[in-house]
Amino acid sequence: EIVLTQSPGTLSLSPGERATLSCRASQSVSSSYLAWYQQKPGQAPRLLIYGASSRATGIPDRFSGSGSGTDFTLTISRLEPEDFAVYYCQQYGSSLMYTFGQGTKLEIK
Amino acid sequence: EVQLVQSGAEVKKPGESLKISCKGSGYSFTSYWIGWVRQMPGKGLEWMGIIYPGDSDTRYSPSFQGQVTISADKSISTAYLQWSSLKASDTAMYYCARRDQWLVDYWGQGTLVTVSS
């Protein structure tokens, strides 16, 4: 089973700053099967990025994804107040099973 | 508009049974897999298993095999997650989510299950 490790665990930044979140896989992952989700308190996760770099419908272009192999990155170019949340990476493995990273909490500094 | 609407919060005692639901609308319910995800208090997301309502083909994550049962009633566009004997450690938020090709795109609002004596 592939393990996804996200870093940092918590990221403290101010609105307007750039955020860089990392997701590292224990073995190579197809970029096609790597996604990022945002979860705000009391809400369900929301799909942000799929295929490592494609934005989901309605996602602002300040969100971008990149990476391949075992290292993937979610970048938020200029933080808005509504971006402070927990972010999860996810990969599709096999047999219709999925793995999530443990999450990165993005908090206001 | 695609929607997954889950049943309301539950408070149960250890040993009791429970079945929670997830009703799909706005798309062909029988043509997409529905998965279940657990989120324990203050923790991350865990994939539990998935069902294809068209033929009830079901797969479980090894961690949840034998612990829960996933089912669906395609006549009412509803998927279910059930327990035969709850434990305190089953206390969590449970989400259903739709799978489109490989992508998990739409999520239900979640059902909070609290198990306490």
pLDDT of the residue at B21: 98
Q: C-alpha dihedral over A39, B70, A34, A65, to 10 degrees?
A: -20
Q: Coil, strand, or helix at residue A83?
A: helix
Provide the residue count of chain B: 117
Amino acid identity at A51: G
* Reported confidence tier of residue A4, pLDDT bands at 50, 70, 90: very high
Whether the per-residue pLDDT at A94 is higher than 90: the answer is no
Query: Which of A96, A100, A104, A105 to mutate to test binding with chain B, by most B CBs within 10 Å of its CB?
Result: A96
Instruction: Tell me the chain A residues in contact with residue B46 when contact means C-beta distances shorter than 8 Å.
Output: 100
Residue A95's pLDDT is 83
**Window A:20-59, CB contacts with B under 8 Å:** 32-33, 35, 37, 39, 44-47, 50, 56
| Residues of chain A contacting residue B95, judged by C-beta atoms under 8 Å apart | 44-45
Contact B79, B69 (CB under 8 A): no
Burial A6-35 (b: 16+ CB within 10 A, else e): beeeebebeeeeebebbbbbeeebebebbb
Could you read off the pLDDT tens digit of each residue along chain B, which spans 117 residues?
999 999 999 999 999 999 999 999 999 999 999 999 999 999 999 999 999 999 999 999 999 999 999 999 999 999 999 999 999 999 999 999 999 988 999 999 999 999 999
pLDDT class of A93 with cuts at 50, 70, 90: confident
